[in-house]
């Protein structure tokens, strides 16, 4: 599905602050995987997502998505097949537009944005129904500006919007990190439901070890630009939070903090 081949990435190249993050980094996402990625700050989790999506470019190496070499394609080309939800709930929706307008925008992804009416009133009930499944009362707020919704509601909408049209892969970039514990539980449940229902391939970066263990069929731990742990299937099911925490602490000890 997604393949990163021999990725190299340096930051502050050519200055005294030069840091090498990835040195011949390889990573493969198989079709149907729901991968949780964990790791300390600076381990390269988010950078990996950004390189996949084309938000930042790699210094060398290849990015292959769905069998096509997308290394030199801009981000918006890659998003044709990828949906993405960000840590900041404000990034996935347009705050100045109302719920209906946001849903209509997302619904039109992949089609022409022409001069026909931006909102299709016939689809109102369809959107309502879809929002109803979230159980957050959004179906009654169709004409409310998204900017005045709560973070949880906005994030749920982002999630729904990113999967509204057929995509092959869903990227979740710490998408529960900015929410309170109760809301993040809800969002995680919705995420799992959507991924399962639609049989999506998903790549989720999280700081919550419990979510990493509880959800998905594969768990990857990153450290200093390398995958130091990659468990799938049965192996992953046998993992528990305590064991993970132990490994995590070991890394930290190595780091000397």
Partner 1 sequence: MNLETVIGALNLGSIYAVMALGIYITYKILDFPDLTVDGSFPLGGAVTAAIINAGGNPAAAIAASAIAGTFAGFLTGVIHVKLKIRDLLSGIIMMTALYSVNFIIVGSKASLPVTGKDTVFSNSFTRNLFGEKASDNAPLHSLFDFKELITVVIFLIVLKVLLDLFMKSKRGYLLKAMGDNPTVVATLAKNGGNVKIMGLAIANAFVSVSGSLFCQYNKTFFLTDGTGKMVIGLAAVIIGINIFGKIRHIASTTAVMIGAVIYTACVTLALAKFPANIMKLVTAVLFLLVLVLGQVKIGTLNFSSKKGGDKK
Options 14-22, 28-36, 135-143, 221-229: segment touching partner 1 (CB under 8 A): 135-143
Question: Which helix (H) or strand (E) covers residue 106, if one does?
Answer: helix 99-107
Work out which of 12, 16, 41, 112 binds partner 1, going by CB under 8 A: 112
* # residues near partner 1 by CB under 8 A: 40
- Of 88 and 247, nearer to partner 1 (C-beta) is 88
Phi then psi dihedrals of residue 159, to 5 deg: -60, -50
- Of 59 and 75, nearer to partner 1 (C-beta) is 75
Contacts (Cβ under 8 Å, ≥6 apart) of 129: 139
Q: Write the binding mask 38 to 57 for partner 1: x where contact by CB under 8 A, - elsewhere.
A: --------------------
Question: Which helix (H) or strand (E) covers residue 57, if one does?
Answer: none
- Of 201 and 208, nearer to partner 1 (C-beta) is 201
| 104 contributes a contact to partner 1 by CB under 8 A | yes
Work out which of 14, 15, 76, 242 binds partner 1, going by CB under 8 A: 76
Whether residue 240 contacts residue 213, with contact meaning beta carbons closer than 8 Å, is answered with yes
| Longest alpha-carbon distance in the chain | 61
Contacts (Cβ under 8 Å, ≥6 apart) of 115: none
Q: What number of other Cβ atoms are within 10 A of residue 136's Cβ?
A: 20
Work out which of 59, 75, 224, 230 binds partner 1, going by CB under 8 A: 75
According to DSSP, the β-strands at 82-85 and 68-69 are unpaired
| 122 contributes a contact to partner 1 by CB under 8 A | no
- Of 164 and 195, nearer to partner 1 (C-beta) is 164
SS3 of residue 256 by DSSP: coil
Work out which of 18, 30, 118, 193 binds partner 1, going by CB under 8 A: 118
Nearest distance from residue 233's CB to partner 1, in Å?
31
- Of 106 and 219, nearer to partner 1 (C-beta) is 106
Work out which of 39, 92, 216, 225 binds partner 1, going by CB under 8 A: 92
Whether residue 200 contacts residue 217, with contact meaning beta carbons closer than 8 Å, is answered with no
SS3 of residue 223 by DSSP: strand
Nearest distance from residue 32's CB to partner 1, in Å?
22
| 137 contributes a contact to partner 1 by CB under 8 A | no
Which of 188, 174, 194, 186 shows the shortest CA–CA distance to 86? Answer: 174
Question: Cα 75 to chain center, whole Å?
Answer: 14
User: Using CB under 8 A as the criterion, which residues of the chain lie in contact with partner 1 when the complex forms?
Assistant: 74-77, 79-80, 83-84, 86, 90-98, 101, 104-106, 108-110, 112-119, 140-145, 162
């Amino acid at each position: 599905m997604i393949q990163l081949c021999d990725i190299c990435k340096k930051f502050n190249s050519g200055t005294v602050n030069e840091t090498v993050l990835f040195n011949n980094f390889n990573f493969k996402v198989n079709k149907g995987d729901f991968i949780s990625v964990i790791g300390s700050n600076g381990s390269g989790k988010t950078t990996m997502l950004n390189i996949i999506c084309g938000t930042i470019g790699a210094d060398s190496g290849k990015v292959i998505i769905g069998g096509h070499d997308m290394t030199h394609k801009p981000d918006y080309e890659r998003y044709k097949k990828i949906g993405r939800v960000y840590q900041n709930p404000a990034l996935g929706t347009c705050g100045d537009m109302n719920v209906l307008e946001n849903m209509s925008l997302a619904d039109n992804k992949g089609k022409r944005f022409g001069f026909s009416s931006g909102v299709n009133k016939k689809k109102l009930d369809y959107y309502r129904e879809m929002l109803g499944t979230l159980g957050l009362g959004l179906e009654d707020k169709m004409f409310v500006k998204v900017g005045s919704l709560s973070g949880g509601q906005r994030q749920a909408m982002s999630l729904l919007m990113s999967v509204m049209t057929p995509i092959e892969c869903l990227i979740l970039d710490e998408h529960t990190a900015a929410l309170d514990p109760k809301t993040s539980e809800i969002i995680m449940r919705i995420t799992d439901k959507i991924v399962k229902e639609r049989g999506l391939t998903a790549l989720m970066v999280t700081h919550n070890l419990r979510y990493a263990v509880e959800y998905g069929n594969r768990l990857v731990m990153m450290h200093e630009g390398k995958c130091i742990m990659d468990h799938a299937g049965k192996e992953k099911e046998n993992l528990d939070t305590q064991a993970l925490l132990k490994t995590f602490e070991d890394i930290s000890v190595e780091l000397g903090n």
